[in-house]
């Protein structure tokens, strides 16, 4: 899954409903959510904003990648996601972290 950290500047520029979290977004070299990945299987979609992991708010001091690293592979986490202005909870079973 590819994402960008939501900052005040990004939120204002993109007219986002919150100024924190992780905005799922693709790039020229790939989609925001890889087909068959744990995020895809859980229903995460491009342009979703992930605001919490197991109730832990994602902000400038707690980025998504750092928070997820606390959990083991195969751990089940609950993400709080904003989609189209509506908040929802999505359970994800974490997979292997991609090799750099």
Q: Is the pLDDT of residue 45 over 70?
A: yes
How far is CA 58 from its chain centroid? 9
Q: Are strands 56-57 and 76-83 parallel, antiparallel or unpaired?
A: unpaired
Asked if residues 92 and 79 have their Cβ atoms less than 8 Å apart, the reply is yes
How does DSSP classify residue 11?
H
How does DSSP classify residue 29?
T
Please state, as a whole number, how many other Cβ atoms lie within 10 Å of the Cβ of residue 34. Answer: 14
pLDDT at 27: 82
**27-42: per-residue pLDDT in tens?**
888 899 999 999 999 9
Residues linked to residue 89 through DSSP beta bridges, in sequence order: 80
Q: Cα separation of 95 and 100, whole Å?
A: 15
**58-100: per-residue pLDDT in tens?**
998 899 999 999 999 999 999 999 999 899 999 999 987 665 5
pLDDT at 98: 62
Domain ranges of the chain: 3-93
- For domain 3-93, give its CATH number from 3.10.580.10, 3.40.50.720, 3.30.465.10, 2.30.42.10: 2.30.42.10
How far is CA 45 from its chain centroid? 9
């Amino acid at each position: 899954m590819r994402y960008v950290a939501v900052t005040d500047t990004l939120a204002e520029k993109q007219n986002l409903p919150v100024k924190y979290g992780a905005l799922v977004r693709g790039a020229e070299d790939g989609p925001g959510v890889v087909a068959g990945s744990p995020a895809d299987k859980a229903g995460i979609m491009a342009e979703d904003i992930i605001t919490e992991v197991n109730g832990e708010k994602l902000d400038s001091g707690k980025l998504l990648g750092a928070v997820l690293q606390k959990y083991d592979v195969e751990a089940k986490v609950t993400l709080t996601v904003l989609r189209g202005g509506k908040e929802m909870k999505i359970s994800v079973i974490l997979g292997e972290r991609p090799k750099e």
